[in-house]
Structure 1
Amino acid sequence: MSPRTAFIAGALAFAVGAAGLAGALIHLGGRGGGQTAAQASAVGGPFEMVDQTGATVTDADVKGKPFLVFFGFTHCPDVCPTALYEITQAFEALGPDAEKTQALFVTVDPERDTPEAMKAYLSSFSPRIRGLTGSRPQVDAMVKAYRAYAKKQPLKDGDYTMDHTAIVYLMDRNGAFVAPLNLKRTPQEIAAEIRPYV
């Protein structure tokens, strides 16, 4: 499956899950205006993972600052590195405010994405991006909590790739879902959307 097809499949899976739990108010490329607290709370929640340094990270550790969440994997051909680059640029556009936020890059491929692999992969992007991995049950629980989609797809050579949701979640300082963050804009426009929550 091509990265574009994977993006569309993941986006559709996210939309279907969000529709069932949040009244279909979440959509790509826009803000979830008009959603109630109950609807927003349908995305996100408790998690326990390990970051690229081997340290345990829970949802409590990231509260107090707004944060972004993006699901992907280090063998992703172009969707993941592109998103991480765009997040890096947005953080640069935030200037000093970047210190008041962070991003979580959550693997959907923990079998290959060890803390060491995540550390090497993320070295090309903003230090504000924290890589999260863990056991398969831990990863699956976080994917479910964020109403994301991830599925292993075998390749002809015996290897495999991962289809996954290609949405960046904007979460507020309390860990509540705000909106999907549209990265198809200038870094300054993305930064302007994040800044009110800093």
Structure 2
Amino acid sequence: MNVRTSSVAIAAAFALSLTALAGCSRQPAAETPPLAGARLGGPFALVDQDGRTATDKSFAGRYRAVYFGYSFCPDVCPTTLQVLMQGYRSFASASPGAAARLAPVFITVDPERDTPAVLKSYVAAFGKPLVGLTGTPDAIAAAAKAYGVYYHKQATAAGASGYLVDHSSQVILFGPDGQPIALVPTDQGAKAVADTFAEWVH
């Protein structure tokens, strides 16, 4: 084999190796979701903002970003939902097909005041497709327990117009099978929310 033939052979072999590596790079090993195996989520039977029955099966086959709060919350809930939906809209703009498979869900921890009519007005302020869910106190308590959410109704302070509800505040992303995937970092801004959706929602 002369030098020219040898060089051509080496170049061809190098090109083939690059092609093989490129092929491998397009099929990376699946990363394990941060919340894989966590005991979060489960069945629930609630009512949506239009007064229709909504269960966990209503969202079967779809990703869902679930947040528990209440419409009378003075600061944390509206801020969290605003960032969540800003991130969702950014994600939807870049990946409309994937976003169509994601349902942002707001579940109240204050069913006494958060009727379907109240929730309908509240979730509308943050934009579609945010879903608002309420129910009986027992149904809400069962859902909150299944999703690892703490909440406690405070006594009405003197001179206050209404009571407050202490509650844990986290948005959790669940997969189409209802299994938890990751926390959605609303505390880091809308871009971080969009990036999280882009990483896990397909």
Residue equivalent to 1:64: 61
Tell me which amino acid in the other structure corresponds to 2:201: Y
Larger-gyration structure (1/2) = 2
Match of 1:87 in 2: 84
* Cα separation, 2, equivalents of 1:136 and 1:64: 27
Determine whether 1:46 maps to 2:43. Answer: yes
Aligned to 2:201: 197
1:52-101 C-alpha deviation (Å, 9 max, x unpaired): 00011111111211111100001000100011101110111112132221
Name the amino acid aligned to 1:152: K
Question: Counterpart of 1:61 in structure 2: which amino acid?
Answer: S
Q: Aligned pair 1:74/2:71, yes or no? A: yes
Aligned to 2:152: 151
1:91–1:126 Cα contact (<8 Å) kept: no
Pairing partner for 1:180 from 169, 183, 195: 183
Amino acid at match of 1:77: P
The 2-side partners of 1:71 and 1:118 are apart by: 13
Contact 1:52/1:131 (8 A) holds in 2: yes
| Counterpart position of 2:103 | 102
**TM-score if structure 1 supplies the norm length?**
0.78
Structure with the greater relative contact order (CA < 8 A, sep ≥ 6): 1 or 2? 1
> How much identity, in percent, do the aligned residues show?
36
Amino acid aligned to 1:146: Y
Q: Which residue in the other structure is 2:126 paired with? A: 125
Take 2:124 and 2:201, find their aligned partners in 1: how far apart are those partners? 26
C-alpha RMSD of matched pairs (Å): 1.7
- Return the letter of the residue paired with 1:99: A
Q: Which moved more, 1:149-158 or 1:115-124?
A: 149-158
2:141 is the counterpart of 1:137: no
Q: Which amino acid aligns with 1:177?
A: P
- Displacement of 1:193: 1.3
Opposite residue 156 of structure 1, the aligned amino acid is A
Whether the 8 Å CA contact 1:63–1:174 is kept in 2: the answer is yes
- Relative to structure 2, which stretch is displaced further, 184-193 or 165-174? 184-193
Please report the TM-score for the alignment, with normalisation by the length of structure 2: 0.76
Unpaired runs of 5+ in structure 1?
1-30
- Gap change, CA 1:74 and 1:186, over 3 Å in 2: closer
Instruction: State the secondary structure of the residue aligned to 1:151.
Output: strand
- 1:162 is aligned to 2:159: no
Q: Structure 1 residues 165 and 55, CA, compared in 2 at 3 Å: closer, same or farther? A: same
Give 1:46's aligned amino acid. Answer: P
Task: Supply the distance in 2 between the matched residues of 1:187 and 1:77 (Cα, whole angstroms).
Answer: 20
